Amino acid sequence: MIRKLTDQDHHQVLAFLSEEPSINLFIIGDIEAFGYSSESQELWAEFDEQDMIKAVLLRFHQSFIPYAKGEFDTSGFVSIMKNYSQPILLSGKSDIVAKFEVYDELHLGKKQVTYFAECSTAECLSPNDVAYKKASIDDVDQIIGLRHSIEEFSVRSDARDVLVQSMEAHTSRTYFTEDNGVMTACASTAAENSMSAMIVGVCTRKEYRRQGLATSIMQKVVQDVLNEGKTLCLFYDNPEAGRIYKRLGFKDIGMWTMHR
């Protein structure tokens, strides 16, 4: 049976998700920040005959994230997702997302498969003297503008709204460097929750690359988040970037698929 979740399901849902807290970082973070009755967010779960959760589906704005530990009612979740605007923005563990890819009626967007890495120690970090700032809401347009300038990035139409909402809910922070008022590099967190945070949007303006700016900002983000007793996660598909992340202490823990 699949049904929509409410506050009364909270403890059971978190117990289910917390067995893989890094993989479920986005779902846990969004639940802690926005709960079960926000207009921008909905959650459903499939329950077995003993009323135990088998699978969870999150909708946050235009995006869906499914999670399950075994077989689940994929078609039941698909019937829910079809009621929302197409194409569907879908992401999650690669083996779970693959079960949705056979449903042509979802009109899934462009597919990207990345490595999923985690960092839980600061032992690989080194001090640096790069001057950086922590962004406020006033800096959001510059952050989005910098991301738009990066050829490799695919910036969603609602990216600004999502970033503002996340910053206001304290589930996202951004550190950046600047030169004469121009943002030159930045790195952000997303889906921050009581246990973990995801690093996203690591980028450097083209003319300021090869100066170590992004790596320095990354070290600041990693150190601050680890000091709060959380673990860090990130996606990467570029081997060169992967080597940089691993020098900072990240280790691969799986594969992640995104349809945008």
Q: How confident is the model at residue 156 (pLDDT cuts 50, 70, 90)?
A: confident
User: Terminal CA-to-CA distance of the chain, rounded, Å?
Assistant: 29
- The whole-number average pLDDT for the span 237-259 is 90
Per-residue model confidence (pLDDT) at position 22: 84
Per-residue model confidence (pLDDT) at position 2: 98
Residue of higher predicted confidence among 154 and 64: 64
Residue 183: strand, helix, or coil: strand
Backbone angles phi and psi of 181, in degrees to 5: 85, -5
Q: How confident is the model at residue 46 (pLDDT cuts 50, 70, 90)?
A: very high
Per-residue model confidence (pLDDT) at position 129: 82
Give me the percent of the chain exceeding a pLDDT of 90: 64
Q: CA torsion, points 71, 75, 81, 83, in degrees to nearest 10?
A: -160
The DSSP code for 207 is G
Q: Write the pLDDT tens digit of every residue in 80-139.
A: 999 988 788 999 999 999 999 999 999 898 899 999 999 988 888 887 888 889 999 999
Per-residue model confidence (pLDDT) at position 56: 98
Q: Write the pLDDT tens digit of every residue in 26-42.
A: 899 889 888 998 888 99
